[in-house]
Structure 1
């Protein structure tokens, strides 16, 4: 773990030295490119969210709920009989 941390620290120091060695005008260009990419990505995401909410159907189907534990109507009589016999025992 310490070796990994040391490698990351060396990589960050090298990156910082490269950044400092870069001319100021080039630093401004790189920052402008990153900001432009960030702004473009933000605009695309906002556009997609607005488009998805505009086309969304805000309706809910309301139907009668069915009890999954309750058997069908033709077999209800046999279930009632078995319950009565279980309770009698």
Structure 2
């Protein structure tokens, strides 16, 4: 775990040093581009949510779940069944 943390810290320091080396004008341009992309993505998500909730047939269908596995019971479930049967008596 310490190795992973060290690698992440090394990478973040490397990226931070690379950012500091860039000229201020380039930093401002990249910051504006990243913020513009984030704002556009946020706007698209809001529009998508508004569009999907404004439809008239916005209903949730509840159906039976198919495909329940028929796997054998484990020791824990057998023990729980025994405890439940004792409690019922």
TM-score range, shorter chain: 0.5 to 0.7
The alignment covers a number of residue pairs equal to 60
Q: Which structure 1 segments of 5+ residues have no match?
A: 61-89
Alpha-carbon displacement from aligned partner over 1:9-54 (angstroms, at most 9, x marks no partner): 1101101100000000000011001100011001100110111111
What TM-score does the superposition give when structure 1 sets the normalisation length?
A: 0.62
Alignment of 1:3-82 (within 5 A): 3-57=3-57
TM-score by length of 2: 0.62
SS of equivalent to 1:55:
coil
Return the offset for 1:56. Answer: 3.8
Alignment RMSD, CA only? Answer: 1.7
Question: Alignment partner of 2:37: what SS?
Answer: helix
Residue aligned with 2:25, SS: helix
Q: Which has the higher contact order (CA 8 A, sep 6+)?
A: 1
Instruction: Give 5+ residue unaligned stretches, structure 2.
Output: 61-89
- Bigger radius of gyration: 1
